[in-house]
Amino acid sequence: MSLDQPKAFVKHQSVTRDAFLGGRLTLSQPAQGFRAGLDSVLLGAAVAETRNSLLDLGSGVGTAALVALVQNPGRTATLAEQNAEMVELAKANVDHNGLAGRANVVTADVVGPAAERRAAGIVDNGFDSVIANPPFFADGGGTLAADAGRAGARHMDASALDLWIKTAAGAAAAGSEVIFIYPAPSLAPLLAGFVKRFGAITVLPLTPRPGEAANRVLVRGIKGSRAPLTLLASRALHEAEGRAFRSEFDAIFRGTARLVW
């Protein structure tokens, strides 16, 4: 257990402190339950370079938003999370990484009353970019995790997912981007929600290795656009053999490049 853990968490669970982006970012997160990984880094790296005000819905300990801040020194971010312990960890991570002047962590329920989110500082039409790594669609393809926090962070139904997309659409300014990362087998409800609210939708399938089926997707929509949907060619994270990342993704995970798509 690291000595620099937020004291409020010691009595609840052990916390690890992990390096991201080749050490440019270090984050405290629970040792058990849902932990930030590749998806969170990819989501933060997927934000367009020109987007300067960011909202991360369901931010957890802040990984995706803080990745986006490290990549663009002129960007500011609001991190919205309803779990009190995750909120405290996110605040500590903001402070420890010297980002207190650029990031604001708020307690907010993504699918709760809009008035409560506004009171927390999530204004309508207020952000250049809205990102989310929402709970997985519970389509019967898996079982709930034993840990309650992990289960809550990973599973919900299609109607709840649509509420996440609706909240993102309300917070995004006209012409802004909304980006979600999600398991590929549950693309259908995600895409349905995006089609109702956005144009210029871009879908990027990500595969473990060349020639394999996609296991996750990045989906981006532009608020107010009427441009058609674009389905990009899939991209493999790893080389065909071994555990090495392909050069494009190795650069992203080392913090020397963003995801261009």
We report the CATH number of the domain holding residue 63 as 3.40.50.150
d(CA 261, CA 258): 10
Tally the domains of the chain.
1
Whether 228 maps to a domain, the answer reads: yes
State whether the Cα torsion 136-55-168-195 is positive or negative: negative
The residue range of the domain holding 72 is: 7-253
Whether 192 maps to a domain, the answer reads: yes
Whether 260 maps to a domain, the answer reads: no
d(CA 104, CA 186): 31
Give the model's pLDDT for residue 31.
84
Whether 183 maps to a domain, the answer reads: yes
State whether the Cα torsion 241-238-61-73 is positive or negative: positive
pTM given for the model: 0.89
Identify which of 110, 128, 202 has the alpha carbon closest to the alpha carbon of residue 165.
110
Whether 226 maps to a domain, the answer reads: yes
Tens digits of residue pLDDT in 25-84: 999 999 877 777 899 999 999 999 999 999 999 999 999 999 999 999 999 999 999 999
Which of 146 and 138 is assigned the larger pLDDT? 138
d(CA 53, CA 163): 22
Q: Which residues of 220-232 are buried (b: 16+ CB within 10 A; e: fewer)?
A: bbbbeeeeeeeee
Identify which of 148, 136, 135, 83 has the alpha carbon closest to the alpha carbon of residue 109.
83
Alpha helices by DSSP H, 30-183: 38-45, 63-71, 84-96, 114-120, 148-154, 158-171
Whole-number mean pLDDT of the chain? Answer: 90
Which of the four pLDDT bands, split at 50, 70 and 90, describes residue 7?
Answer: very low
Whether 188 maps to a domain, the answer reads: yes
d(CA 30, CA 85): 9
Whether 234 maps to a domain, the answer reads: yes
Whether 1 maps to a domain, the answer reads: no
Q: How many CA atoms lie within 13 A of 221 on its CB side?
A: 23
Give the model's pLDDT for residue 22.
95
Residue 9 has pLDDT above 90, yes or no: no
How far does Cα 128 stand from its chain's mean position? 15
